[in-house]
Structure 1
Amino acid sequence: MDISHFAEEFRALATLIKDPDEADGPPAPGTVSRPTPGSIGPKELLNVKVPAPKARNDPKEIWREDELQDVVEDEYDDGRETPSYEFLYKQAVDTADNFLGMSMKDPSSTSCEDLVVRIELPKAQGASELDLDVKDTYLKLSSPQYKLSIHLPHKVDGERGKAKWDPAKKTLSVTLRIIRDEPF
């Protein structure tokens, strides 16, 4: 490679990153002649206006109650047992997915449509004593023996879930439709 070719490339690069407002010639004493990340590019990008935060009643307040979504209200321990639970995922698969390989679905949870929360309640007498409350981001279950308040791993449609009690296994299976905010 020719040294003169390298010098030309270096000068071309120097003109690209040079500030057009800067005068040619030696830099003034005490100034730095090297460009910084803030000096590269058009100057109008540096003047970005950030909106002022909304006024608050209390200056020490971090958030307002209306800004909170789906707050679990009973996080205190009242002596009731916390049942064991697990999250399972369901995916609708048909013959085109299974045998023809025509689907974009994969076995990961990102392709699943439903979230199933399986809760084991061995001391429960039946489904009539269970009180279940499902919101978009949490699930709350209470009975005379058990209390469970959990945040869900995905946002779900809390209005259209299905709950099924299995008396032989003493488990409650809650099936909830996952709401995906951004399509992949």
Structure 2
Amino acid sequence: MDFTFSFGQLQALSNLLSPADQEEEDLEEQPAKRTFNLNPGQIGPARGSNPTDSNPENPPDTKQIWAEEDVPEGSEFDDIWDPRQQPEYEILFKQRVGTEDVFLGMSRKDGSTACCEDMVIKIKLPDCKPADVTLDIKERFLALRSPIYKLGLHLPHPVDSKNGKAQFITDTHMLEVTLTMKREFDFINFA
């Protein structure tokens, strides 16, 4: 394609964009456009103002670049340079039911995950021995390490990290971790 324009074509384009028949009076009647020149120094709170509620008893540490509550729990385990592979896993929810729940329907439990008390995480670890597996559980994070595998899993619900059960099934090379969930409204769901 040829993108060269003649003088006449350029003048026609100029007339299209700014018509010559518009009088100067019309231009004066239009409100002047205000332009703002922004620079990086104008982004954020004004200088001298403190955007956070500072506590005079605990002054903020000026050498910290972020607060501890800003870093999600478990991010210290994320390592993109670790060559170990992530194992296959599955998260299941489990209810504790009795005959009064199943046959008589005496409780308010149904098949939803809101009525589940436990979270079961099944992790496939082929070619792995139980002695080589290291498992660390926080309230919202599960970390598994072995010579072959690594898994950093953010959990969908907070769990009781002190009381849990892990079982390694050697026939299928499967690690089953059962954790009790602790949610805000469980006292209502299981009353």
Asked if the contact 2:125–2:173 (Cα under 8 Å) also holds between the matched residues in 1, the reply is yes
Specify the code of the residue in structure 1 equivalent to 2:177. V
SS in 2 for 1:123: coil
1:53 is aligned to 53
Cα distance 1:60–1:158, how it changes in 2: closer, same or farther (>3 A)?
closer
Report the count of equivalent residues: 132
Deviation at 1:98, TM superposition (A): 0.7
Cα distance 1:68–1:100, how it changes in 2: closer, same or farther (>3 A)?
same
2:113 is aligned to 109
Alignment of 1:13-162 (within 5 A): 53-54=53-54, 56-58=60-62, 61=65, 63-65=66-68, 68=71, 70-76=73-79, 77-124=81-128, 126-162=129-165
Question: Larger C-alpha radius of gyration, 1 or 2?
Answer: 2
Deviates more, 1:153-162 or 1:71-80: 71-80
CA distance in 1 between partners of 2:106 and 2:177 (Å): 30
TM-score of the two chains, using structure 2 as the length reference: 0.63
Specify the code of the residue in structure 2 equivalent to 1:94. G
CA distance in 2 between partners of 1:101 and 1:172 (Å): 33
Aligned-pair identity (%): 41
2:176 is aligned to 173
CA distance in 2 between partners of 1:71 and 1:170 (Å): 25
Deviation at 1:180, TM superposition (A): 1.2
SS in 2 for 1:157: strand
TM-score of the two chains, using structure 1 as the length reference: 0.65
Specify the code of the residue in structure 1 equivalent to 2:53. P
Q: Which runs of 5+ in 2 are unaligned?
A: 1-50
